Amino acid sequence: MTKAKWLAAAAVCAVLTAGLGGCSSLTGSYSDAAGQKKTDKVLRVGSDLNYPPFEMEENGKPTGFDMELIAAVADRMGAKLEVQNITFGDLITAVKDNKVDAVISGMEGTDARAKDLTFCDPYLEAGYSILARKDDSAVQGWEDLKGKVVGTQMGTRHTELSIDFGAERVQAFDEKTNVIKALKDGHVEAAVLDAPVASYYAQHDGTLKTVGEPKISEKGLVIAVKKGNTALQKEINDALKSLKEDGTYDKLRADWLGEKK
């Protein structure tokens, strides 16, 4: 199935809001779309559309591995998809406050997040890489972060990881684009990002490079729902299983990440 067919089949409604507004309240697992039959379901999903190749905007529409995966999931569930653009650090609050039904945003299923969310089955391994400037040889690997100023994004494990490796100071930014800008402008000496994201920037920006070997986490990337919403968790898990069994997941992974499971 082509990318266009996935998006059309899932009837993606991209509500690209800067904040958390623009949605009706929930009753049950889904919100009822206004003016539609009661049988129609709308799956409201929050994501930080500033995280290529997982999620981003092209021509005002959401795209990327996560976005096409959740579109396919919604299609298998028989639901229309509505995407809200929410800063990563606000995603957990959006779920807890019923602003969205689920979140997918390159989010690792950590023990800390499990206190507030219910995780669906992991859909991708989690890993981290260091991004550095090509003209700077001071950072060649993880041990070289000791004594350095490192840039990360707020709400991620990257800050903790940088401190573990001895960073003198960590500058955490609300948006990943600000992490990249700080690195390019020399305000930080390296950035710690999810491995596919670091690779994406190294491939698309001739001034940047990845250094050292990626660190693989024991936790995977997950779609998360409100704590205790096991009904929606099961529906998403069933859809993920179906996508993996018929090869749709492998094709998406190959298209966006250049690899298969």
Domain 126-218 in the same topology as domain 3-123+222-257: yes
**Fold for the domain defined by 3-123+222-257:** D-Maltodextrin-Binding Protein; domain 2 (3.40.190)
Q: What backbone phi and psi angles, to 5 degrees, belong to 248?
A: -60, -45
pLDDT at 11 over 70: no
The whole model's pTM is what? Answer: 0.74
Query: Taking the C-alpha atoms of 69, 131, 91 and 19 in order, what is their torsion angle to the nearest 10 degrees?
Result: -100
- pLDDT given for residue 176 in this prediction: 87
> pLDDT (tens digit, 9 = 90+) per residue, 185-229?
999 999 999 898 999 999 999 999 999 999 988 889 999 999 999
HEC profile of the chain: CCHHHHHHHCCCEEECCCCCCCCCCCCCCCECCCCCCCCCEEEEEEECCCECCCEEEECCEEECHHHHHHHHHHHHHCEEEEEEECCHHHHHHHHHCCCCCEECCCCECCHHHHCCEEECCCCEEEEEEEEEECCCCCCCCHHHHCCCEEEEECCCCHHHHHHHCCCCEEEEECCHHHHHHHHHCCCCCEEEEEHHHHHHHHHHCCCEEEEEEEEEEEEEECCEEECCCHHHHHHHHHHHHHHHHCCHHHHHHHHHHCCCC
- In sequence order, what are the residues at sequence separation of 6 or more whose Cβ sits closer than 8 angstroms to the Cβ of residue 148? 138, 139, 167, 168, 189, 190
**Fold for the domain defined by 126-218:** D-Maltodextrin-Binding Protein; domain 2 (3.40.190)
- pLDDT given for residue 174 in this prediction: 87
Query: Taking the C-alpha atoms of 196, 114, 72 and 123 in order, what is their torsion angle to the nearest 10 degrees?
Result: 50
Q: What is the mean pLDDT of residues 130-158?
A: 95
**Domain ranges (residues) in the chain:** 3-123+222-257, 126-218
> pLDDT (tens digit, 9 = 90+) per residue, 149-187?
999 998 888 999 999 999 999 999 988 899 999 999 999
Burial of 39 by CB count in 10 Å (0-12 exposed, 13-18 middle, 19+ buried)? exposed
pLDDT at 13 over 60: no
Termini Cα distance of the chain: 19
